[in-house]
Amino acid sequence: MSFPIVRHRRLRQSTGIRNMVRETHLTVDDFIQPIYVTYGENVKSEIKSMPGVFRFSLDRLQEEVKEIAELGIPAVLLFGIPETKDSVGSSGFAEDGIVQEATKLIKSWYPELLVVADTCLCEFTDHGHCGMVHTVEVDGHICGDVLNDESLELLVKTAVSQAKAGADIIAPSNMMDGFVQAIRAGLDENGFSHIPIMSYSVKYASAFYGPFREAADSTPQFGDRKSYQMDPANAREALREAETDVLEGADMLMVKPSLSYLDVMRTIKDNFDLPLVAYNVSGEYAMVKAAAIQGWIDEKKVAMEILLSMKRAGADMIITYYGKDASRWLAEK
């Protein structure tokens, strides 16, 4: 046999060696746990398409937040389901809105736990779109378009109200053109120049959001979101979206979804020197859960491999419904 013989397996011989040469590491500090808050009393209702994920009313919220904090997860991402909706999503920027009230409670219980506020209107509008819409009736069907610049004014009001309530990070997910610049200016003008923006910079019009639509009751009542969310076929466009957000003042960039867009995540990581956030979305979670319930896969191993792949692709933070489980699994080592 010719010399030298390359023996790659030498560095795989034992657990100790594998641990020492491991390139990518997951820790509890990587995770952001989403929470759904809703109106009513004594509500803890499981979301059918997301086993193990619940909607909580404010009087039941502390039990969930306590568990998250005790596991050492550093941050939560809040989504709100309001009691009433209207065409402009006014409950999204109300001082006593569901997200605002949840934020105040969480910060009073656990001041060190970071509250990330999702800044969008889809959960609060009666039409389910992420901004104001202009609608017309065509052949008996409602058609319309989302108004970009008019929506920015409402998104700024939402972000400012969330910051006033105590949110540590504003996370705008609406994909309107110019949303980072508008929100940055609004926060600065209202005394919140210290609040960072975690921008949903690269958000695709994805089928993986299906369970979230059930969880947040945010299915569009007409049309779809393809006119403002990105085409899944496009990767170079992601660079333009991210660059715009960087120039407008974003502090963190996000790719959503993540599992089917690991290539995009790596491209963003290699081209921009800002923290990168992966969103391990509802459909990705639901697929693993469904297969695990059937006994077809090892849930722990598959979920952790998925999270590790996102970290390996460049993620500094991962928003994931597996945050609590993954934190427990890491503690078992």
Asked whether residue 21 is domain-assigned, the answer is no
Tell me the one-letter amino acid at 242.
A
- Does 226 qualify as catalytic in the annotation? no
Please tell me the predicted confidence (pLDDT) of residue 309: 98
Q: Which of 19-23, 53-57, 125-129 has the lowest mean pLDDT?
A: 125-129
- Per the domain annotation, does 251 fall within a domain? yes
> Residue 130: its pLDDT value, please?
64
Q: Is 44 a catalytic residue?
A: no
Cα separation, 113 vs 248, in Å, equals 27
- Which candidate in 44, 104, 256, 289 is catalytic? 256
Closest CA to 158 of 90, 256, 204: 90
Asked whether 116 and 171 are in contact (CB, 8 A), the reply is yes
What percent of the chain clears pLDDT 70, i.e. is strictly above it?
Answer: 89
Pair 115, 103: CB distance under 8 Å: yes
Q: How far is residue 272's CA from residue 301's CA, in Å, rounded to a whole number? A: 31
| Sequence-ordered list of residues with C-beta below 8 angstroms from that of 29, at least 6 positions apart, any chain | 72, 74
Q: Is 24 part of any domain?
A: no
The answer to whether the annotation marks 130 as part of a ligand binding site is yes
In a domain, 160, yes or no: yes
| Cα–Cα distance, 84 to 91 (Å, whole number) | 7
- In the chain, the number of structural domains is 1
Residue 139: its pLDDT value, please? 63
Cα gap 322→300, rounded to integer Å: 10
277 has a pLDDT exceeding 90: yes
Name the more confident of 225 and 77: 77
DSSP per residue, 277-316: EEEE-HHHHHHHHHHHHTTSS-HHHHHHHHHHHHHHTT-S
Q: How many residues does the chain have?
A: 333
pLDDT of residue 174: 83
> Does 266 show up as a binding residue in the annotation?
no
Q: Is residue 201 part of a domain?
A: yes
CATH of the domain at 277: 3.20.20.70
Decide: 118 and 78 in contact? Cβ < 8 Å.
yes
**Angstrom distances, CA of residue 258 to CA of 156, 263, 272, 308:** 27, 9, 17, 12
What is the predicted pLDDT for the residue at 293? 96
- Any known ligand binding at 240? no
Which among 48, 66, 85, 203 is annotated as catalytic? Answer: 203
* 223/284 Cα distance (integer angstroms): 24
Domain that residue 88 falls in: 30-331
Res. 221 pLDDT band, cuts 50 70 90: low
**How many beta carbons lie within 10 A of that of residue 138, not counting itself?**
9
Asked whether residue 136 carries a pLDDT value surpassing 60, the answer given is no
Please report the pLDDT score of residue 228 as a whole number.
77
Average pLDDT, the chain: 90
- Categorize the per-residue pLDDT at 265 as very low, low, confident or very high, splitting at 50, 70 and 90: very high
pLDDT (0 to 100) of residue 15: 92
Is residue 243 within a helix (H) or strand (E), and if so which, with residue range? helix 236-248
Question: What is the tens place of the pLDDT at every residue in 159-207?
Answer: 999 999 999 999 998 888 899 999 999 999 999 999 999 999 999 999 8
With 0-12 / 13-18 / 19 or more C-beta atoms within 10 angstroms meaning exposed / middle / buried, residue 111 is exposed
Characterize the bridge pairing of strands 141-146 and 133-138: antiparallel
Q: Which of 91, 150, 96, 143 is nearest to 121 (CA)?
A: 91
The answer to whether residue 247 is domain-embedded is yes
Provide the pLDDT for residue 271.
97
Mean pLDDT score, 79-102 = 86
- Quick check: is 181 in a domain? yes
Per-residue tokens: 42: 């004594």
Question: Would residue 6 count as lying in a domain?
Answer: no
Higher pLDDT: 141 or 192? It is 192
284 is in an annotated binding site: no
**Which of the two residues, 88 and 246, has the higher pLDDT score?**
246
CA distance 256 to 200: 7
Alpha helix (H) residue ranges in 88-178: 98-109, 148-165
Across the range 25-53, mean pLDDT stands at 95
Largest CA distance in the chain: 78
